[in-house]
Structure 1
Amino acid sequence: MPNELVLLTGASGQIGFRTLIQALSSGYHVRAAVRSQRKQDLIANASATQPYLKQLSFVHVTDFEKDGAFDDAVQGVSYIIHIASPLSDAGTDVQRDIVQPAIRGTLSILDSASKASSVKRVVITSSSLATWSFAPDPYTASDFQPDPEVPKEPGFFAYAASKKLALNRTRDWVQEKKPGFAVINIMPSFVWGRNENATTRADLAQGSNGMLLKLALGGANIDQGFPNSACHVDDVAEVHVRALDVPDVGPLRNFGVGWSKEKWQWDDIKEIARKHYPEAFEDGTFVSSGSIKSAEMAFDASETEKTLGIEFKSLETAIKDLAGQYLELK
């Protein structure tokens, strides 16, 4: 409920910062777990946080993977939102830099939460990739996949493996520990939209945003098929916050975020961007060359809209917001 305290990790990232503002504007008090003073200053000095500084506090946790890392941070909190997790380009060693941090960071915060009697619910950022079999068949956030073989090289499939493994170890943990709080996994598709902390185009071109800008607006030619499933960052943030008090979730629940009704192909994105920003194509900022073959990723997240009473923003809105911010920045 609003006015209660939320522990939030990953608040300096695109999803994390947008979720932070969503939680603060919804009336929650937030304790942001940060790894450094630099990240604390980035969050505290951002224009979007200024109206809510009285609701915002910080705790430094330098090593999220360490046993007991969050023991002090969880004291007195009612809810936890754990967003921090490595991206596909986090390093060169897949196990060390991507897979194990995703698993150990999640289990570390769950273990600490189980020691604090005040915790009512833990919300974890997973991914739509975590329950995808890589087949074109329709699937939902409620499906589970067996542990995958982990690729030796970093990239898309290594990231997908880390999300599958982190989700499966979370399920194992809940079944074994039977905690006194609910655990909810939020499973977004590729996340697009404005990044309120980006001050340059290089800042904006991180994570899923960078993938869209590079693939769809940079003239790339990809013919092996790239998954066509995405969502707006605003919806991801709203689902995280609404999940804090949605009733009747049981001990473990998954909520997907993605466009289930809207069918699109990667090459559609350039036409949407051209519709709103024709001058950017005329001056060469965006280019029309190249083509990306789409691979069907039939992720059905409609149950989230129904359960939480929201309607996800459209593909066009996400493209307009992201391309618009890119043009604003230098």
Structure 2
Amino acid sequence: MSNKLVFITGGSGHVGFRTLVTALEAGYDVRAAVRSEFKKDLILSAPSIKALNPKDRLSFVIIPDLSAPGAYDAVLQGATYIIHIASPIVLKGDYDPSEYQSALIGPAVEGTTSILKAAAETDGIKRVVITSSIVAQIDPKYFFEVDRPENEVLDHTSRTSLSAGPYPTDFHAYNASKIAALAATETFVKTHDLSFDVTNIHPSFVTGKNELVTDVSDFTLGTNVTIMGSILGNKSDSPLVGASVHVNDVAYMHVKALSPEIPAGSYVGNSEGEKGTVWQDATRFAAKHFPQAVQAKVVPNDGTQPTRRLRIDVTREERVMGFVFMSFEEQVKSVVEHYLELKGGS
């Protein structure tokens, strides 16, 4: 992979950082776009990066606004591949409804189309890999309101249309941002004569150790809260779609998708096959693997989280990419172990 430069956006995020590390481990050189010097320093301070000691194999460009017109002008020169992960996310649920379009939907679409336009104007780009989501593939009512019919199975071909809103919550608006960005990507590919391939990766809820989270107070800001909620004693009556995937697997998919032997297209990331994730199992796995922490009440492990079933077929993904998704039990072990590390437990 020498002299194979990958340009990566979103490298300080949960998926982005692990993808950056995985790309370096695979032998690629990485140029990471970050919004600030702070984000750059955060990445460089991570133990995984220090252990790799990539030196000049890892470089950075500072782009404060990744959705700004011309944000990627000149910074793609010399790159062979692009992995576009950066996109607005919902962390604290504090968006005002009046901001949904300007803060979530608009930037998701503009950031994606901007990097595709820049790639089309840059010589030497062979493949662009974009982070989408399973929320871009099915009607939002199956996340928030009703179970999807038992005979319907989500796979890489599944798509849904964009609702014009208004959106009742910021997570509904986040769903809309992913639907809109995927539609914009596929329209761009159809309407342009491109010299490169485009692949979309569609993860379910991404869990697993986030090495850049170093303060336990920040631990439940991301999607790891889907696992930690019941372990920390939260009692929810609202079903959560039973679909999850380890961050290491998602990172592997992004990097593997750069390989010419992997056909371009869409790939879904999800563990446990069509059975899916049963969120309440998190408390059982925590008690199994961390009995002392549970007995000592370091974690209450007495919360509740009902599951809304969603059947997802990833047999094609595992066959084409040559791996098996890690189990939900492995995801729980990864997340709880990191939480206890930050708490100072064992």
Q: Give your verdict on TM over 0.5.
A: yes
- In the alignment, the residues of structure 2 paired with residue 224 and residue 209 of structure 1 have an alpha-carbon distance, to the nearest angstrom, of 17
Name whichever of 257-266 and 47-56 sits farther off.
257-266
- In the alignment, the residues of structure 2 paired with residue 33 and residue 167 of structure 1 have an alpha-carbon distance, to the nearest angstrom, of 21
After superposition, give the CA deviation of every residue in 1:39-96 in whole Å (9 maximum; x if it has no partner).
1111122221122123100111111111111011111100000111111247332111
Q: Residue 19 in 1 paired to residue 19 in 2?
A: yes
- Does structure 1 conserve the Cα–Cα contact (< 8 Å) formed by 2:226 and 2:279? no
The TM-score, its normalising length taken from structure 1, stands at 0.94
Correspondent of 1:194 among 185, 191, 209: 209
Note the C-alpha offset of 1:266. Answer: 1.4
Q: Residue 227 in 1 paired to residue 241 in 2?
A: yes
Aligned partner of residue 68 in structure 2, secondary structure: coil
After superposition, give the CA deviation of every residue in 1:6-45 in whole Å (9 maximum; x if it has no partner).
0001111111111011000100000000111111111122
Aligned partner of residue 307 in structure 1, secondary structure: helix
Q: Which amino acid aligns with 2:127?
A: R
- In the alignment, the residues of structure 1 paired with residue 221 and residue 238 of structure 2 have an alpha-carbon distance, to the nearest angstrom, of 23
The TM-score, its normalising length taken from structure 2, stands at 0.90
Note the C-alpha offset of 1:153. Answer: 4.2
After superposition, give the CA deviation of every residue in 1:173-207 in whole Å (9 maximum; x if it has no partner).
11111311111111111011111112111233232
Alignment of 1:7-156 (within 5 A): 7-50=7-50, 51-89=53-91, 91-92=95-96, 93-133=99-139, 134=142, 135-136=148-149, 137-156=152-171
Q: Which amino acid aligns with 1:290?
A: G
- Does structure 2 conserve the Cα–Cα contact (< 8 Å) formed by 1:4 and 1:77? yes
Change (3 A) 1:110 1:314: same
Note the C-alpha offset of 1:248. Answer: 6.0
Q: Which amino acid aligns with 2:131?
A: T
- In the alignment, the residues of structure 1 paired with residue 241 and residue 290 of structure 2 have an alpha-carbon distance, to the nearest angstrom, of 25
- Does structure 2 conserve the Cα–Cα contact (< 8 Å) formed by 1:94 and 1:153? no
- In the alignment, the residues of structure 1 paired with residue 226 and residue 206 of structure 2 have an alpha-carbon distance, to the nearest angstrom, of 10
Partner residue, 1:300: 313
Q: Which amino acid aligns with 1:132?
A: I
After superposition, give the CA deviation of every residue in 1:134-162 in whole Å (9 maximum; x if it has no partner).
22421112222112233434433221111
Change (3 A) 1:222 1:178: farther
Percent pairwise identity? 38
- In the alignment, the residues of structure 2 paired with residue 267 and residue 47 of structure 1 have an alpha-carbon distance, to the nearest angstrom, of 32
Aligned partner of residue 236 in structure 2, secondary structure: strand
Note the C-alpha offset of 1:221. Answer: 2.8
CA RMSD of aligned residues (A): 1.7
- In the alignment, the residues of structure 2 paired with residue 272 and residue 45 of structure 1 have an alpha-carbon distance, to the nearest angstrom, of 31
Name whichever of 120-129 and 291-300 sits farther off.
291-300
- In the alignment, the residues of structure 1 paired with residue 164 and residue 278 of structure 2 have an alpha-carbon distance, to the nearest angstrom, of 29
Partner residue, 2:145: none
Q: Residue 175 in 1 paired to residue 190 in 2?
A: yes
Aligned residues: 327
Correspondent of 2:231 among 217, 230, 243: 217
Q: Residue 281 in 1 paired to residue 297 in 2?
A: no
Note the C-alpha offset of 1:261. Answer: 4.8
Partner residue, 2:270: 258
Aligned partner of residue 337 in structure 2, secondary structure: helix
Gaps of at least 5 residues in structure 2 are 143-147
Partner residue, 2:258: 244
Q: Residue 5 in 1 paired to residue 17 in 2?
A: no
Gaps of at least 5 residues in structure 1 are none
Name whichever of 28-37 and 124-133 sits farther off.
124-133
- In the alignment, the residues of structure 1 paired with residue 237 and residue 113 of structure 2 have an alpha-carbon distance, to the nearest angstrom, of 38
Partner residue, 1:158: 173
- In the alignment, the residues of structure 1 paired with residue 275 and residue 260 of structure 2 have an alpha-carbon distance, to the nearest angstrom, of 26
Change (3 A) 1:263 1:89: closer
Aligned partner of residue 237 in structure 2, secondary structure: strand
Q: Which amino acid aligns with 1:225?
A: P
